[in-house]
Every structure is written in C-alpha cells, then in structure tokens.
Structure 1
Amino acid sequence: MAELTGANWRKSTRSGDNGGNCVEVADNLPGFIAVRDSKNPAGPALTFSPAAWTRFVRSSKTPH
C-alpha cells in the first residue's frame, strides 16, 4: 500500500460545484498519484502510476 503521509490533496478541476461530491487528487508524492472521495478523507484512496494516471486523464478528455 502506498504511503499517503504528506499528500497535498486538491479538488479535481472536473468535480465542479456539486454540493460536496468531489474527487481529490494528490500528485506531489514520489512515484504515484492518489485519488480519494472528499466526503471521506480518512477512507480509502486509489493509487495510480504516473503513466496510468496520464492515460486515464487523456482518455477522459477524449469524446467517445
């Protein structure tokens, strides 16, 4: 499991203003990107390699 101590969480620019239902991303940690639900900051976080995160972000911007 990745160590999240020192993570600088920020609200995703894609979250918008939807009453607190947000995704937060920490991209300041060495070797991985972490993603969590802002409503449950003590809960689980998903972690991705930088390459996997880049592929995910690019694919989410591509019209399907």
Structure 2
Amino acid sequence: MIINIAEAAVSSIVPDKFIGDAKPMVVGNICPHDGYVEFTVWRWGDFPYLDFWTDILVFNSYDPR
C-alpha cells in the first residue's frame, strides 16, 4: 500500500495539488481494512485549516494474474 499526500486548493480543477508552506507532511499509522484505510497525517506549520488530497494505491497479493 502506498499513500501520497499533498496540499490542495479548492478550485474548479480537481485535484489542484501543490507543494506549499505546510511541509513536510507525513502519513503514518497506516491500517488497511476490508473496504477502507485508516491513517494519520502529521504536518508542520501553524495553519488552523488545511486542504489536502491523498492518493491511495492498494496492491492485492491474492490477485491470480
């Protein structure tokens, strides 16, 4: 499983990702379940609100291909 995270702007372009002032951003405590994934995001900076996008790629070890 791979999880990427990036800051994002709320705009008509979806997703509108960028590298901004809230760096680094770290994803950890990753816990996959049947149908969903739990994870924690740590970020540096004094931001009361922060929009971000995550991309989650799941590899299926049981795929017969």
| TM-score scaled by length of structure 1 | 0.26
TM-score under structure 2 length normalisation = 0.26
Q: Which structure: greater strand fraction?
A: 2
Larger radius of gyration between Structure 1 and Structure 2 = 2
